[in-house]
Amino acid sequence: MLGIIGAMDVEVKKLREMMEDPEIQTVAGMTFYQGTIKGKAVVVVRSGIGKVNAGLCSQILVDRYHVSGIINTGIAGSLRNEVNVGDIVLATDAVQHDVDAAGFGYQPGEIPQMGIKEFPADAHLREVAVRCCQRANPDIQTFCGRVASGDQFINSREKKNWIRDTFDAYCTEMEGAAIAQAAYLNQIPYLIVRAISDKADDSANVDYSEFEAKAVEHSVRLMAAMLEEL
């Protein structure tokens, strides 16, 4: 069974509507919908925004539903000029840009005593996602690269440039790396799928609401195509 996490209702509502006779359970304030989409057994859940919610949601999926993998779908801000609004970024790995233990000799993003700061995404899930996105969303670009997460909405060019230059990331959002860390600790595969809703620069506040719906549409089409193939 595959777990699918979205941070906001708009990111998972259409997926829930595609499910056949879901079983519904609420745990820790999160509502889990278990059923099938395109013949694939899945659990779809809205985690809520931020890393704590995302990490907790991931562990519930592992402990209660025994998922074999997790896909985190949603929207993000671009960190690169070539990654435009509407495009898709598929994680090669994920890092927490707001983790800072430099006072103890750690690199930016490195979690103390873990010996790792980038959590690798699953190559097979990513390969399937690339093929499916090219088929389901032929009008947009698909990029594979690092996702940077933090409990911050990034809407300044200065902060965008710092995250890009420090972590060589393609996009920034608020949940993916927490899900990646939970998947790493539980030794299950994961993939972060991010549709770009804004350029994560000084125009982010203006772009976000205008392009959110289009970004979600691209993400949902990709997820439906992936579930048909997996």
Domain with residue 217: its CATH number is 3.40.50.1580
| Residue 210 pLDDT class (50, 70, 90 cuts) | low
Backbone angles phi, psi at 28, to 5 degrees: 55, 35
- Spatial distance between the Cα atoms of 123 and 156, rounded to a whole number of angstroms: 32
Q: Give residue-wise pLDDT tens across range 46-88.
A: 999 999 999 999 999 999 999 999 999 998 999 999 998 889 9
CA 61 and chain centroid, separation: 15
- CA angle, 10 then 184 then 37, to 5°: 40
The residue segments making up the domain with residue 29 are: 2-229
CA-nearest of 172, 182, 166, 168 to 52 is 182
Report which listed range, 2-16, 66-80, 214-228, is most confident: 66-80
pTM of the full predicted structure? 0.94
Query: What is the amino acid identity at position 154?
Result: I
Residue 175 pLDDT greater than 70, yes or no:
yes
| Residue 205 pLDDT class (50, 70, 90 cuts) | low
- The reported pLDDT for the residue numbered 9 is 85
Which residues are catalytic, by number? Answer: 11, 198
Q: Residue 21 CB: number of other CB atoms within 10 A?
A: 7
Q: For the chain, what is the mean pLDDT?
A: 92
89 neighbors 76 (Cβ within 8 angstroms): yes
43 forms bridges with which residues in the sheet? Answer: 3, 34
* In the chain, % of residues over pLDDT 90: 76
**104-111 long-range CB contacts below 8 Å, 24 or more apart?**
108/166, 108/167, 109/148, 109/166, 109/167, 111/181
In the numeric block, which tokens belong to residue 178?
């927490």
- Spatial distance between the Cα atoms of 6 and 54, rounded to a whole number of angstroms: 9
Looking at the chain, which runs of residues are DSSP E strands? 2-6, 20-27, 30-37, 40-46, 69-78, 88-96, 119-120, 142-149, 169-173, 190-198
Count of structural domains, the chain: 1
- The reported pLDDT for the residue numbered 201 is 61
229 neighbors 128 (Cβ within 8 angstroms): yes
State mean pLDDT over 92-99. 97
